Copies of this chain bind each other. A is one copy, B any other.
């Protein structure tokens, strides 16, 4: 029998992507979707693209009510803005649901850092120690036993997966790291904001949100854990005219002149050689978002530059899949005891 899952906030881009993936999941059944804006409408009405699925004519969006959802589902995904997600997590956890939160609300261990970066008090600080950071390649064992998953942000995923193994292995220095990221427009969400109109984004490339983007908080917390010391990085996001995809270029410093390409390759091979969703590029191949869009794969390539001594690492992921909903389903699979790749290949 399939496990019942619900999505609160299913009409945004991450929510829609959860719907897409869950409609074809072999072990999960989409039992409820909520949306204040579309309450009462069927899945087929709100998303014509899903209208061929048998469920789409019967499943209706409802108002998001925690107590009701707790009766309808065993696992609840929160695809909500930060600050709002926590309001639902508390009663759902109390009612015995597992919660997979795609917002930033439970990604940090410190309520103070949350307040510094998100400019309001944390709504449920008592849950911060309970939550597991949902990066399966790093925290697989903890996710399996968790009831509250804080699924990582899109930029953090694109930075952490390439960087953490190098820091853990002592191949790259923990200071001076630069992450230069390029994101598709879906990262801004489906909100009616003139900045994200077609004509404002098409034929446009622009940096934004520097030098202190909110995602720095979780990036630095995780990198610090990997390095064993406090890490502060430089992070510059840019908006580029594609629907989906993040391309991150990382500038790292090897810990010594003895660090060579083989060591880096061996480190990545050890960390990710068996990972189903990490693709280590070989030879002359470099990441390209078009090779991973729609999939849960992150591509990683690296180059040691003999002229500068730097280590350049590049990654490409779909911000809505590996950077959000696909990764959240990876966590669902782990905590449910299913094959990790279920519904994701």
Contact = CB atoms under 8 A, between A and B. Distances in A.
B232 A205 contact: no
A199 B211 contact: no
A233 interface: yes
A48 B242 contact: no
Interface string A28-44: 00000000000000000
B192 A197 contact: yes
Interface residues of A, number: 73
A162 interface: no
Contact of A345 (B24, B232, B290): B24
B288 A182 contact: no
A197 B48 CA distance: 17
A274 interface: no
Interface stretch (A79-87, A139-147, A148-156, A306-314): A306-314
B291 A48 contact: yes
B190 A192 contact: no
A312 B199 contact: no
A265 interface: no
A338 interface: no
A165 interface: no
Q: Taking the full assembly, how many copies of this chain does it contain?
A: 4
A293 interface: yes
A234 B205 contact: no
A13 B241 contact: no
Contacts of A245: 203-205
Interface in A128-148: none
Q: Which 5 A-B pairs have the closest CB atoms?
A: A211-B305, A204-B290, A198-B201, A206-B288, A49-B291
Interface of A: 13, 24, 48-49, 51-52, 178, 180, 182, 184-186, 190-194, 196-208, 210-212, 232-234, 236, 238, 240-245, 247, 249, 251, 276-277, 279, 281, 285-295, 297, 299, 303, 305, 307-308, 310, 312, 314, 316, 345
